[in-house]
Amino acid sequence: MKLAIVGAGKMGGAVLAGAVRAGVLTADQVGVYHPDEDRRAALAARFGVAPLDDDGVHRAERVLIAVKPQSFESVAPLIAQRGGSYVSLMAGVTTGTLAKRLGSRTVVRAMPNLGAAVGASATALAWHPEAAVADREFARRLFLAIGTVHEVAESLFDAYTGLAGSGPAFAAVVAEAMADGGVRVGLSRQVARDLARQVLLATGMLLETKGPAELKDEVASPGGTAIAGVRALERHRVRFAVMDAIEDATERARLLARDGEER
Ligand SMILES: NC(=O)c1ccc[n+]([C@@H]2O[C@H](COP(=O)([O-])OP(=O)(O)OC[C@H]3O[C@@H](n4cnc5c(N)ncnc54)[C@H](OP(=O)(O)O)[C@@H]3O)[C@@H](O)[C@H]2O)c1
């Protein structure tokens, strides 16, 4: 077995499905573990992979740890002290803690985001300095199957959480406000929501080839409607609010990670 998934929930399930879809692994190279036998069988059936018992996890080449961080303490004894390597996507659990609890330095830490559910995650990757090149490469391929990958210093994971982890919530607030604005000027709720979604989708696609300032300048013609709206955004200090949101979210991630380290 090439990969045992411990915690095939929303995120573990998205990585599993993406990896098989992209051909990084075949379904018979992956297995799922759950302490409850019925749950294990149900997860295996849902993803079309093998159910793994304790022994199966021990024998797997690699283990993807995708349980909630608070479950890690109870999971660690089961998966520790194997010969193989680990990829963890638990928020706030550092490679140092992973290495200590798992008794292994072949540890890669990943932070995907909600985009994983639609194959559009922005994943940050960091590894223990002693992680093998093959393990780093495997993690890269695994997460490229569900979106983009950025290799960053682990000290920047909280900043990553502030922008990419929390970002979908900020963008959703903007989408909701745009829809409310549309309703306010007379559009039906459904039409306003569709328009807001489509505008954000198209903007994301356009940003693949041009910078945000350039895009804004293209839309904002002299004396036109867009620049009138941009002025309103500046009046309400929207840039400042967005920058502040990312800073506050980063600070919160830092605090939660520190609490986790102290636990
Ligand atoms: N969701 C995100 O956007 C996101 C982003 C970045 C990182 N993460 C990280 O991803 C991890 C999982 O989050 P999630 O949102 O995917 O949560 P989730 O959907 O609740 O998935 C956790 C899964 O672990 C299973 N589980 C619980 N205890 C277990 C055990 N002892 N052994 C094996 N499996 C066990 C759960 O099964 P039951 O349902 O039976 O309890 C559930 O299927 C977290 O550490 C989180 O920090 C999530």
Q: Is residue 254 assigned to a domain?
A: no
167, two tokens: 């970002």
Domain-terminating residue out of 123, 153, 183:
153
Residue with tokens 């149900």: 42
8 CA: nearest ligand 1 atom: 43
Could you tell me if 103 and 190 lie in one domain?
no
Question: Between helices 167-184 and 238-262, what is the axis angle to 10°?
Answer: 150
Residue 193 structural domain: 165-249
Determine the Cα–Cα distance for residues 181 and 163; give it in Å rounded to an integer: 25
Domain-terminating residue out of 105, 129, 153:
153
**Ligand 1 pocket member 102 (CB < 6 A):** no
pLDDT at 28: 96
pLDDT at 263: 59
The structural domain count of the chain equals 2
Of 68, 161, 259, the residue with max ligand 1 atoms within 8 A of its CB, to mutate for a pocket test, comes to 68
- Cβ neighbours of residue 198 closer than 8 Å, sequence gap 6 or more: none
Determine the Cα–Cα distance for residues 150 and 112; give it in Å rounded to an integer: 10
Q: What is this structure's pTM?
A: 0.90
N residues, the chain: 263
**Ligand 1 pocket member 33 (CB < 6 A):** yes
**Ligand 1 pocket member 66 (CB < 6 A):** yes
**Ligand 1 pocket member 168 (CB < 6 A):** no
Q: What confidence tier does 138 reach under pLDDT thresholds 50, 70, 90?
A: very high
- Cβ neighbours of residue 116 closer than 8 Å, sequence gap 6 or more: 11, 14, 15, 18, 123, 146, 147
Q: Is residue 73 assigned to a domain?
A: yes
69, two tokens: 């961080």
69 CA: nearest ligand 1 atom: 45
Average pLDDT over residues 68-88: 90
pLDDT at 37: 94
Residue 84 has pLDDT above 90, yes or no: no
Q: How many whole angstroms from 71 Cα to the centroid of ligand 1?
A: 9
Determine the Cα–Cα distance for residues 161 and 152; give it in Å rounded to an integer: 12
71 CA: nearest ligand 1 atom: 28
Could you tell me if 9 and 129 lie in one domain?
yes
Could you tell me if 142 and 193 lie in one domain?
no
Of 26 and 105, the structure prediction assigns the larger pLDDT to 26
Average pLDDT over the chain reads 94
pLDDT at 262: 61
Average pLDDT over residues 166-192: 98
**Ligand 1 pocket member 69 (CB < 6 A):** yes
pLDDT at 83: 79
| CATH number, domain containing residue 147 | 3.40.50.720
Average pLDDT over residues 23-45: 95
Residue 259 has pLDDT above 80, yes or no: no
| CATH number, domain containing residue 217 | 1.10.3730.10
Of 6, 11, 146, the residue with max ligand 1 atoms within 8 A of its CB, to mutate for a pocket test, comes to 11
Residue 178 has pLDDT above 80, yes or no: yes
Three-state secondary structure call for residue 67: coil
Average pLDDT over residues 123-139: 94
Q: Is residue 29 assigned to a domain?
A: yes
94, two tokens: 């550092």
Could you tell me if 54 and 74 lie in one domain?
yes
Q: How many whole angstroms from 43 Cα to the centroid of ligand 1?
A: 13
